[in-house]
A and B are shown apart, each in its own frame.
Chain A
C-alpha cells in the first residue's frame, strides 16, 4: 500500500491531466507504467530486501570471513613468501615450491598420502555399499545393525586408534590370533612394521567410516523405484543381474557423491595417524597434513608450510574436478 501511494505521487506530476471519471484506476495504471517511478520503487524495495537478507547472514558471515575466507586467501599469498615467525615476510616467488621438489620428507609424505587414499577409498566404498545392500531389506534386527554399523563413525578417533592399536598387537593381539585360525602362523607386524603400518591404518579408518557412507547408500537405495526391481524380476533377472542393471545404475549419483567425499577426506587424514602410529615406524606413515603441522606450527616456517598446503589443496581440487568431469561425460554417453 505504501509503495502505491509514493508511486502515485510521482506519477501524477504531468500537468494538465484533468481528474476525469476513471481517475483512480488510470493514475494507478500510469504509475505502474511510468518507468522512472517503477524503477525507483523496485530499487527501494530491493535495497530493503538486501538489507534484511544481509542482516540474517551477517553474524555468521563475519565469523566466516575472518576464520575461513581470509586465511584461505592468505595461504596462497604466504606460499610465495619466506615468512618464519621471527623475520618480516619477503616475496620469494617460487622458491618454496622449488624446495618442495627436493624435500625428501615431503615427497615421502605425499607418497604415503596417496597410498592411504588408494587403499581407503575403494575399501570404504566397498564395505559401505555391501553393508547398505545387506541392510536394505525387511529383516529382523536391521535397525539394530544399522545403528551398530553407524556408531564407530561418531566414536572418537583417539579411542578408535587406541583400541585398534591393541587389536593389531603383533604378538598377542586378537587380529593375529584370528589369522592363526586360517593357518597364518606369524601374522604381520602391523603398526610395528614399515610395510604393514599403512594397511593397519587403512583398515581402521575403513572400519570407522563405513557406517557414515552406508547411510548415504541406504538413502540412495531407497530412492530407486520398487517397480524397477519388480519389472526385472518378472523378466527373469537373477539377483546378480538385478544388482547390475537396476541397483548400480540407480545408485550412480550416490556413488559419485561418496567417491568425491571419500577422496577429499582421505587427503585430510591426520588424527588417526598421529594417535595410531605418529607417522612411524620411521616415516612409513607420515602424511602431508603432518608435514604441514610440523613445518608450519612446530618449526614456524609459515611460508614453506603454506606451500605444502597449496600443494594439498591443488591435489584435492584437481582430483575433485576430474571426478566431476568424468561423471558428466559418463552421464552424457
Chain B
C-alpha cells in the first residue's frame, strides 16, 4: 500500500500522459465488456426467480418443457387460490408472522438495552463479557444444539413456540450490532444529559434510542427476515403440523406432492413475497446493517 502511494511522487506525471492517447477506444471497449458481464451476472441472479414465478403460473405438466417456456401459455392464476385449500397455508403464515414478530420485538428490546450497558456504562469485566458475546457469534450453533435440545425437552418445551422464542430472542448478534452503533454516538451527549439530571435509563430511552433509529431498523429487519426464513429451528423443535411455519410447510410439498411442481413454486412465491415487500421498503437498512456489522467485526 505504501509503495503504490509513494511512486507517483517520485515519477513525474507529465510524460505518462501521452500514453493515454489510445485509451479512448480501450476505455469504451472496457465499458462494453463491463456491461456485458453485468448483464450476464444479473441474468444469473434473476433467472431462478423468473423460473419460480413463471412455473407458479403453469399447469404441472407444463413446467418442464424443452425448450424452456419462460412465459406460460395460459396463466394459471387459480394456483394462487387453490393452494390455500390444498395445504393449511393460512395457519403456516399466521404462525410465522407470530414467531417472527415476537422474536424481533424481544431481540431489539433486550439487545439495545444491553448494548447501552456495553457502550455507555463503565464497570470492571465489561469488555471481557462483551468478548464472550462476540465469541459465541462465531461459534457454530450445531456445536451446542444438543444440550439446548435436552434442556428444552426436560422443561417440556419441545413443540412449543416458547422454545423457539427463547432460543432466538437473546442472540448476541443484536447486542453486537447495537453496541457498534452506540459507540459512534459521542459520550459528551450522555454526559450533558447526566448533568441535566437524567438517569442512565432516561438517557437510554430519551437520547440514545431516538438517535439510533437506523440501527434499530436494521436489527429489526434482519431479525425478522432471519426468523421468517429459519428452517433448522422449526425443523428440530416444531413437530405437530398446526405449529408449522411457512418454511416447514413448503418443505412438506416435496414428499406429499411429488409431481405438483407448479404448486411447489406457488408456495415458494407466497413465502418469498412478504420478504420482497419488506426488502423494497427497507433496503437501505439491510445494506447498512450488514456493512456496519461486517466492517467493524
Using CB atoms and an 8 Å cutoff, list the residues of chain A in contact with chain B.
Answer: 46, 49-50, 52-57, 59-64, 66-72, 74-75, 78, 85, 130-131, 134-135, 137, 139, 145-152, 154-160, 162-164, 166-167, 169, 171-174, 177, 207, 211-212, 215-216, 218-220, 223, 227-228, 231-232, 234-236, 239, 245-246, 249-250, 254, 257, 260-261, 264, 267-268, 270-271, 274-275, 288-289, 292-293, 296-297, 302, 305-306, 309-310, 312-313, 316, 320
Kindly report which residue of chain A lies nearest to residue B175, judged by CB atoms.
Answer: A60
A313 with B143, Cβ < 8 A, contacts A56-B200, A68-B172, A131-B41 known: yes
Chain A residues lying within 8 Å of B4, measured Cβ to Cβ, are 228, 231-232, 245-246, 249
Task: Give the Cβ gap from B14 to chain A, nearest Cβ, in Å.
Answer: 9
**Contact digits for B138-180, partner A, Cβ 8 Å, 1 yes 0 no:** 1111111111111101000000000000110110101100000
Say yes or no: A63 contacts B169, CB within 8 Å: yes
Q: Is the CB of A167 within 8 A of B51?
A: yes
Q: How many inter-chain contacts with C-beta < 8 Å in the A-B complex?
A: 293
- State whether B136 touches A72 (Cβ < 8 A): yes
Name which residue of chain B comes closest to A145, CB basis. B42
List, in ascending order, chain A residues with CB within 8 A of B219's CB: none
The answer to whether B123 touches A49 (Cβ under 8 A) is yes
Count chain B residues whose beta carbon lies closer than 8 angstroms to a beta carbon of A.
Answer: 104
Residue contacts A-B, CB under 8 angstroms, 26 given: A49-B121, A53-B117, A55-B117, A56-B117, A56-B121, A67-B166, A69-B136, A71-B144, A71-B148, A72-B136, A74-B150, A131-B41, A148-B45, A156-B275, A158-B271, A162-B264, A166-B261, A174-B68, A212-B290, A218-B291, A219-B295, A257-B294, A260-B138, A264-B140, A268-B142, A296-B146
Look across to chain B and name the residue whose beta carbon is closest to the beta carbon of A296.
Answer: B146
CB distance from A73 to the nearest CB of B (A): 8
Report the separation of the CA atoms of residues A125 and B38 in the bound assembly, to the nearest whole angstrom.
17
> A219: which B residues are within 8 A, CB to CB?
291, 294-295
* A288 lies within 8 A of B142 (CB): yes
CA distance A162 to B152 in the complex (A): 31
A53, B126: Cβ atoms under 8 Å?
yes
Please choose the segment from B73-81, B82-90, B184-192, B246-254 that sits at the chain A interface, where 4 or more of its residues have CB less than 8 A away: B246-254
Tell me whether chain A's interface is mostly helix, strand or loop, or mixed.
Answer: helix
Do B251 and A158 have beta carbons less than 8 Å apart?
yes
Contacts of B47 on A, CB cut-off 8 Å?
A: 167, 174
Complex CA distance for A203 and B169, rounded to whole angstroms: 32
Tell me whether A275 and B11 are in contact in the complex, defined as CB-CB below 8 angstroms, given that A46-B123, A67-B170 are known contacts.
no
A230 to B286, CA, bound (A): 32
State whether A292 touches B142 (Cβ < 8 A).
Answer: yes
Asked if B63 is at the interface of the complex by the 8 Å CB criterion, the answer is yes
Partner of A74, one of B117, B126, B142, B144: B144
Determine if B247 and A320 form an interchain contact, defined as CB atoms under 8 angstroms apart: no
Grouping DSSP codes into helix (H, G, I), strand (E, B) and loop, the B interface class, with mixed when no group exceeds half, is helix
C-alpha spacing A250/B138, complex, angstroms: 25
B residues contacting A by CB (< 8 A) are 1, 3-5, 7-8, 11, 13, 16-17, 19, 30, 34-35, 37-38, 41-42, 44-49, 51-52, 55, 63-68, 109-111, 113-114, 116-118, 121-124, 126, 129, 132-133, 136, 138-151, 153, 166-167, 169-170, 172, 174-175, 200, 204, 225, 228-229, 231-232, 235-236, 246-247, 250-251, 253-254, 261, 264-265, 268, 271-272, 275-276, 279, 283, 286-287, 290-291, 294-295, 297
Partner of A216, one of B246, B286, B294: B294
Given contacts A219-B291, A288-B142, 18 further A-B contacts (CB under 8 A): A70-B147, A74-B150, A145-B38, A154-B229, A154-B279, A155-B275, A156-B228, A158-B250, A162-B253, A163-B268, A207-B45, A215-B291, A219-B295, A260-B138, A261-B294, A270-B142, A271-B235, A316-B139
